[in-house]
Amino acid sequence: MNQDILFNDVSFSWGDKPLCQRLNLHLRGGKTTVMLGRSGIGKSTLLRLVAGLLQPQQGAVRGLSGNVAWMGQQDLLYPWLTVLDNVMLSARLSGDKPDRPRALALLEQVKLSDVTHAPPHQLSGGMRQRVALARTLYAQRDVVLMDEPFATLDVMTKLSLQTLTAGLLRGKTVLLVTHDPLEACRMADDILLLQGQPLAIESWPVPGGDVPRPFDHPDVLQAQAQLFSRLNTHENSV
């Protein structure tokens, strides 16, 4: 049973700069919550508070339970392991028998079959991010925390890997950070829109239909346009 994650009266500052004050949030267990906002607004900081990598100065983040996967902005691939061994890292760390066929199938799905035995330094940035994604999906955790998991991918690869990820993580508690409104509209059961300093967080209506929603569905496109416009009216209009 996936537990909800709660921010209870959470305040956090970097130095004397308050990032959030007395923040209360309810992230539903077994659902994908997308935190959307512009660069520098505080998305990664909130994700790190959830992961317990940062502690709030006031209040508490509760409810994180079970096995947790962390996919940060840095891919953290082990340079001395091949691509395949990086994907199966969770098995190595827990002492489980590596499931090589499943790892190879995932590498095929992220279009990396031809580099399974390469070391990470031979890969492009986008390829490394796909290895990190395959490693995250391989681990089959109850809770998955992802910070811009598709940021370095070309648009067609991004759409196809969003579809793969949403399918494999259905029913898990997923918290995904992005600055991409279309990604939010495709992937989210719940959208949280982050704006302002200190943060004001708005719960944003999601389009109908199951995730992953088609990128070209009129409801998805309309929701994306509304999000663009909301992000644009708040500050720095383009």
> Which residues sit at the interface with ligand ATP, rule CB under 6 A?
14, 19, 37, 39-45, 179
Shortest Cβ distance from residue 68 to ligand ATP (Å)?
19
* β-bridge mates for residue 33, sequence order: 175, 190
Shortest Cβ distance from residue 19 to ligand ATP (Å)?
6
Shortest Cβ distance from residue 74 to ligand ATP (Å)?
11
The residue (of 34 and 87) whose beta carbon lies closer to ligand ATP is 34
Cα separation, 177 vs 34, in Å, equals 6
The residue (of 72 and 207) whose beta carbon lies closer to ligand ATP is 72
Q: Which amino acid is present at 39?
A: S
The residue (of 139 and 177) whose beta carbon lies closer to ligand ATP is 177
The residue (of 22 and 92) whose beta carbon lies closer to ligand ATP is 22
Q: Are 34 and 183 in contact (CB under 8 A)?
A: yes
Shortest Cβ distance from residue 122 to ligand ATP (Å)?
26
Short-list 54, 57, 59, 47, CA closest to 23: 59
Q: Rounded to whole angstroms, what are the CA distances from 35 to 68, 107, 113, 156, 175?
A: 18, 27, 32, 22, 7
Shortest Cβ distance from residue 43 to ligand ATP (Å)?
4
The residue (of 128 and 179) whose beta carbon lies closer to ligand ATP is 179
Cα separation, 34 vs 53, in Å, equals 19
The conformation of residue 205, written as its DSSP 8-state character, comes to P
Q: Are 8 and 54 in contact (CB under 8 A)?
A: no
Q: Are 143 and 67 in contact (CB under 8 A)?
A: yes
**Phi then psi for 87, rounded to 5 degrees?**
-65, -40
Decide: helix, strand or coil at residue 143. strand
The residue (of 94 and 236) whose beta carbon lies closer to ligand ATP is 236
Shortest Cβ distance from residue 155 to ligand ATP (Å)?
18
The residue (of 5 and 103) whose beta carbon lies closer to ligand ATP is 5
The conformation of residue 10, written as its DSSP 8-state character, comes to E
Shortest Cβ distance from residue 77 to ligand ATP (Å)?
19
What length is written for the chain? Answer: 238
235, burial (CB in 10 Å: exposed 0-12, middle 13-18, buried 19+): exposed
